[in-house]
Amino acid sequence: MEKIIEAFTGITPEGKKSRVPAKLDKLLTATGVILAIFMMGHMFFVSTILLGKDAMYTVTKAFELDFIFDGGLPIIVSIFVAIITAILVLHAILGIRKFPTSYKAYIKIKEHAKMMKHQDTSLWMFQWISGLIMMFLVSIHLYIMFTQPQNIGPYTSSYRVVNENMWLLYMVLLICVELHGSIGLYRAAMKWGWFDGENPKETRLKMLKAKKYLSFFFLTLGTITLLAYMKIGIERYDHQPMKYNPNNYQQEIINK
DSSP 154-219: HHHHHHHHHTT-THHHHHHHHHHHHHHHHHHHHHHHHHHTTT-TT-HHHHHHHHHHHHHHHHHHHH
251: pLDDT strictly greater than 90: no
The answer to which of 36-45, 108-117, 223-232 has the lowest mean pLDDT is: 108-117
148 by DSSP, 3-state: which? coil
Average pLDDT over residues 14-32: 79
Report which of 234, 177, 19, 256 is spatially closest to residue 11, judged by C-alpha positions. 19
Residue 168 has pLDDT above 90, yes or no: yes
Predicted structure pTM score: 0.81
Q: How confident is the model at residue 10 (pLDDT cuts 50, 70, 90)?
A: low
Q: Is the pLDDT of residue 136 over 70?
A: yes
Q: Is 95 helix (H, G, I), strand (E, B) or coil?
A: helix
Which residue has better confidence, 153 or 201?
Answer: 153
Selected residue with higher pLDDT from 99 and 226: 226
Residues 169-178 have a mean pLDDT of 94
Element (H, E) at 132: helix 119-147
Q: Average pLDDT of the chain?
A: 83
Judge whether 160 and 151 are in contact, CB under 8 Å: yes
pLDDT for 20 equals 78
pLDDT score recorded for residue 118: 64
